[in-house]
């Protein structure tokens, strides 16, 4: 099992650093964020160290993803929130500070203004179609079905 001695989340997985752990099984750990955006802000991580969303094995991701519906339900019920954001900052430029892949489950309340809607750039049919084709080409090159 891949692990990184300098990684704070690997240390949490190995109980070398304390954390408020809500769920821990062979593939996945969920614990409360130490500096939450809202009370009940939960982090969900793979047990195996991987840095970003492109670094995780599909099987490990499938197991983690399989926990998200019930963990989301747990967050909603325990926090009393009415909605939540599921966020993954993948890569430094996307805001990732801890280089062990993780998913934020952030409780949301009516008009709470916790996370502002990000700027959108609009698009036209032609540029969307070009980008779509590029992505399909990459998928085909990677041999995906």
Tell me if 60 contacts Zn ion by CB under 5 A. Answer: no
- 49 catalytic residue (yes or no): no
Binding residue for ligand AMP (CB under 6 A) from 3, 21, 25, 34? 34
CB hemisphere CA count around 132 (13 angstroms): 7
Cα separation values, 48 from 32, 61, 117, 134, Å: 19, 10, 32, 32
Q: Which of the residues 41, 49, 100, 102 is marked catalytic?
A: 102
CB of 104 to ligand AMP, least distance (A): 6
Q: Does residue 91 bind ligand AMP (CB under 6 A)?
A: no
Q: Using an 8 Å Cβ cutoff, are 104 and 86 in contact? A: yes
Residues of this chain that interact with Zn ion (CB under 5 A) are: 4, 7, 9-10, 49, 100
């Amino acid at each position: 099992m891949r692990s990184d001695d300098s990684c704070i989340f690997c240390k949490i997985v190995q109980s070398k650093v304390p954390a408020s752990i809500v769920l821990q099984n062979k593939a996945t750990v969920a614990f409360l964020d130490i500096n939450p955006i809202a009370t009940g802000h939960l982090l969900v991580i793979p047990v195996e160290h991987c840095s970003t969303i492109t670094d995780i094995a599909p099987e490990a991701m499938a197991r983690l993803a399989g926990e998200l519906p019930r963990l989301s339900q747990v967050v909603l019920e325990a926090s009393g929130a009415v909605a939540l954001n599921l966020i993954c900052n993948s890569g430094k430029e996307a805001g990732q500070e801890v280089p062990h892949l993780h998913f934020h489950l952030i409780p949301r309340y009516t008009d709470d203004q916790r996370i502002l809607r990000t700027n959108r750039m609009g698009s036209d049919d032609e540029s969307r179609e070009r980008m779509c084709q590029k992505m399909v080409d990459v998928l085909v090159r990677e041999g995906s079905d």
